[in-house]
Amino acid sequence: MNSRERILGRVRRALADAPEDDKPVERGYLRVHGDRGAEETVELLAENLADYRALVHRCSQDELPSVIGRLLAERGAKSVIVPPGLDAAWLSATEADRVEDTARSTPYELDRVDSVVTACAVAIAETGTIVLDGGPDQGRRRITLVPDHHVCVVRVPGQVVSSVPQALERLDPARPLTWISGPSATSDIELDRVEGVHGPRTLEVILVG
């Protein structure tokens, strides 16, 4: 008998006396916490992002290229990596060298890049979370991981949901997802949160719309 059969057999024997349970799980919890309009939801997102030390900026669609240009310049970024499907206009006002992420680029090459600019799939107001799903304007997971400075653009209010349940409804589990709530942090020293370990230590979120 192989281990698969052995484990499944043990499970079945262990449950032989257990009472039947085919009722669906009751979900008495809320879909959303609180009653907010679209603008209030965006404000809550901004507040919760900032609470976990993301730097939040708001601008209109027209202002976006100049805001991105300014953030990269303030950072002193000499190079910036962008996913292949990012709107080229977003980077029209930056001097930084554009680095392409190809399947052949190595982690070492990524490590030499100063900043990364991406869009996102959805943002969650209640938790201050942005979610990337590897779409064309978000790229491979590693480009938002190795560089130390991540600029993420959220289209508001369209990409913003209130709650975790609403976010999961919008997301496709077949895609690799990265949920980001503030910059990299740790609670490992005396159980107190400190920002900045392996992921980008500076997270800037631009709410555009």
Of residues 86-145, which lie at the interface with other proteins (CB under 8 A)? 103, 106-108, 111, 124, 126-129, 134, 140-142, 145
- Nearest to other proteins of 98, 193 (CB atom): 193
C-alpha dist (Å) from residue 176 to 11, 40, 128, 141, 209: 31, 30, 20, 8, 27
CB of 13: closest distance to other proteins in angstroms?
7
- For residues 202 and 207, what is the distance between their CA atoms, to the nearest angstrom? 16
Note whether 60 binds other proteins by CB under 8 A: no
Residues 6-25 that bind other proteins (CB under 8 A): 6-15, 17-18, 21, 25
Residues 153-192 that bind other proteins (CB under 8 A): 164-165, 168-169, 173-192
Contact partners, residue 87, CB within 8 Å, separation at least 6: 137
- Nearest to other proteins of 165, 209 (CB atom): 165
Q: Which stretch binds other proteins (CB under 8 A): 1-9, 35-43, 56-64, 66-74?
A: 1-9
CB of 119: closest distance to other proteins in angstroms?
16
Long-range contacts at 96-104 (CB < 8 A, ≥ 24 apart): 96/72, 101/139, 101/140, 101/142, 101/143
* C-alpha atoms less than 13 angstroms from C-alpha of 27 in its C-beta half-sphere: 5
